Amino acid sequence: MKNPTNLFKAELRKRGHQLGIWNTIGGNTVPDLLGGAGFDWVLVDCEHAAIDTVEVLPALQAISANPKVSAIVRPADNDATLFKRILDMGAQTLLVPYVQTAEEAAQAVSAMRYAPHGVRGMAGMTRATRYGQVDDYYTVAYDELCLVVQVETALGLDNLEAIAQTEGVDAVFIGPADLSASLGLPGQTSHPDVVAAIHNAIDRLKAIGVPVGLMALDPASAKAFIARGVNFTAVGVDLVLLADAVASLRRAFDEAP
Ligand SMILES: O=C(O)C(=O)C[C@H](O)[C@@H](O)CO
């Protein structure tokens, strides 16, 4: 069989916009729900969520029940061992946190590629090869892999063009929360200085033709960022949505009957 097409990467190349949602609740039920909710992509977060690498497999299986929805996985770190496990499970797009230099970006690229082009370890009986059925997997695998690096510090912004233009980097994702902390405004993601830094990053990435992604949980801000040219936007986080719904339900019973 043919190696499955990476729809997220194909859409990135067209420079359209893809709407996404963040999965931070482990197991396969929530990824299944999110995959059927009408978003273009669902990100499984192993960096900050209580989701271990081994739990990525059922999450990917659940999301793939909706073939038009792309799964993205954020490993806990820029670590070749984590990459090879997640790629072997069939993830085709990785979002790599906390990339601050072109050298770190090149390290991530290398972990996506088999030797002699990189350091991805080889295994045959994996979901990535559809258990040995994908034709020539080892030679075609990389064509359908997509590497997004996350820039979320002042140093990363200083090195933005060098990171984004590292051969093998497909897109850059700006992390507003860490960026706010790095700029001395922890948690103030809508502070004018943080927004200005994000705008500056978007404009610089557009100027060099590199797709850019962002998390923006307020719909009005998300729409404004999309209008500015962001190519993929995470507009929700499962646990945040659940917490908001729970608080709202509880508040409804504070009111007089
Ligand atoms: O810095 C950021 O912003 C991000 O990396 C996204 C956060 O990690 C996300 O987990 C917030 O829920």
Residue 40 placed within a domain: yes
Residue 240 placed within a domain: yes
Q: Whose CA is nearest to atom 6 of ligand 1?
A: 175
Residue 153 placed within a domain: yes
Residue 144: other Cβ atoms inside 10 A: 20
CA 174–ligand 1 middle distance (angstroms)? 9
Question: Based on the structure, what is the number of domains in the chain?
Answer: 1
72 DSSP β-pair partners = 43
Residue 207 placed within a domain: yes
Domain that holds residue 91: 7-251
ipTM above 0.85, yes or no: yes
pLDDT by 10s per residue, the chain, length 257: 999 999 999 999 998 999 999 999 999 999 999 999 999 999 999 999 999 999 999 999 999 999 999 999 999 999 999 999 999 999 999 999 999 999 999 999 999 999 999 999 998 799 999 999 999 999 999 999 999 999 999 999 999 999 999 999 999 999 999 999 999 999 999 999 999 999 999 999 999 999 999 999 999 999 999 999 999 999 999 999 999 999 999 999 997 66
First to last CA, the chain: 62
CA 51–ligand 1 middle distance (angstroms)? 15
Query: Rounded to the nearest 5°, which phi and psi values hold at 198?
Result: -65, -45
* CATH number where 42 lies: 3.20.20.60
Ligand 1 atom closest to 189 (CA): 3
Ligand 1 binding pocket, CB closer than 6 Å: 48, 152, 175-178, 215, 237
pTM to 2 decimals? 0.96
**CB-based contact 189:177 (threshold 8 Å):** yes
